[in-house]
C-alpha cells in the first residue's frame, strides 16, 4: 500500500473523495493508504473464510461481507477488511458500515505492521466489534483479538491442521483445514 496525501481527512470528506476514486484507499490513524493487490494465497484464504462463514451463518440474522465494503470506526478510520460479519438489517446501497461483529484481516508482509498497530487500534474503537482474526498467509495460524470486560485481549492462536477458531459470539467454529484449503504453505 502506498501512502497518499489528502487535505480533508474528516470521515465525510474522505468518504466523499474515496467514493470518486478508481482505486481503493484506507484512512487509518490519519494516514491515507492506497490498497494494493494481493497474492493468490491471500485471495484463496479470504475466499475460503467468506465461504465457510457464509455456510455456517446461513439462515441466521448475521451475514458475511467481503473486501468491497468499507468498515468505519467512530474515530473516523476507514478500512477494507478481507471479510467481516455484521448482524441485522442494512441498506443494500450502503458503501460502508460501522457495526461489524467480527473482522478478518489476512496479513501480508507489506501491510502486517500497519494492520497490527494502527488498524488494531481503529478496530478496538468500534463498539459492536467482538473479535478480530489476524490470519497468517504463509502458515496455518490465526491470531485472535477478542473484546472482554473491561477491554481487549489477545487469545491463544489457533494453529496447525487440527486447529480450530472458536467463535462463541456467532455460535460457530472455523477449522484451519478449511480456512487454508487449497493453499500452498511455506511449512509444507
List all residues 6 or more positions away from 14 whose beta carbon is below 8 Å from its beta carbon: 6, 8, 27, 32, 76, 78
CA distance 168 to 166: 6
For residue 117, the model assigns a pLDDT of 86
For residue 39, the model assigns a pLDDT of 86
CA distance 140 to 152: 23
Q: Which residue has the cell 490465526?
A: 142
**Exposed, middle or buried: residue 144 (CB in 10 Å: 0-12, 13-18, 19+)?**
middle
**In the predicted model, is pLDDT for residue 3 greater than 60?**
no
For residue 65, the model assigns a pLDDT of 96
For residue 55, the model assigns a pLDDT of 97
For residue 136, give the DSSP letter. Answer: -
Averaged pLDDT for residues 25-45: 89
Over residues 124-165, the pLDDT tens digits come to: 999 999 999 999 999 999 999 999 988 999 999 999 999 999
Confidence of residue 2 (pLDDT cuts 50, 70, 90): very low
Over residues 58-116, the pLDDT tens digits come to: 999 999 999 999 999 999 999 999 999 999 888 999 999 999 999 999 998 888 878 88
Confidence of residue 187 (pLDDT cuts 50, 70, 90): low
Averaged pLDDT for residues 25-35: 90
**In the predicted model, is pLDDT for residue 188 greater than 70?**
no
For residue 162, the model assigns a pLDDT of 97
Averaged pLDDT for residues 24-33: 91
Is 111 in a helix, a strand, or coil? coil
Domains of the chain: 38-179 (3.90.1570.10)
Amino acid at each position: 500500500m502506498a501512502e497518499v496525501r489528502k487535505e480533508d481527512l474528516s470521515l465525510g470528506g474522505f468518504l466523499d473523495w474515496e467514493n470518486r476514486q478508481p482505486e481503493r484507499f484506507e484512512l487509518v490513524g490519519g494516514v491515507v493508504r492506497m490498497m494494493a493487490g494481493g497474492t493468490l494465497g491471500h485471495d484463496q484464504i479470504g475466499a475460503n473464510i467468506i465461504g465457510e462463514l457464509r455456510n455456517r451463518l446461513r439462515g441466521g440474522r448475521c451475514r458475511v461481507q467481503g473486501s468491497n465494503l468499507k468498515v468505519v470506526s467512530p474515530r473516523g478510520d476507514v478500512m477494507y477488511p478481507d471479510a467481516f460479519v455484521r448482524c441485522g438489517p442494512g441498506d443494500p446501497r450502503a458503501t460502508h458500515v460501522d457495526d461489524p461483529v467480527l473482522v478478518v484481516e489476512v496479513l501480508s508482509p507489506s501491510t502486517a505492521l500497519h494492520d497490527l498497530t494502527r488498524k488494531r487500534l481503529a478496530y478496538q474503537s468500534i463498539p459492536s466489534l467482538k473479535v478480530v482474526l489476524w490470519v497468517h498467509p504463509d502458515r496455518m495460524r490465526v491470531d485472535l483479538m477478542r473484546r472482554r470486560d473491561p477491554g481487549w485481549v489477545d487469545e491463544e492462536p489457533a494453529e496447525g491442521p487440527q486447529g480450530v477458531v472458536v467463535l462463541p459470539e456467532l455460535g460457530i467454529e472455523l477449522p484451519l483445514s478449511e480456512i487454508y484449503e487449497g493453499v500452498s504453505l511455506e511449512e509444507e
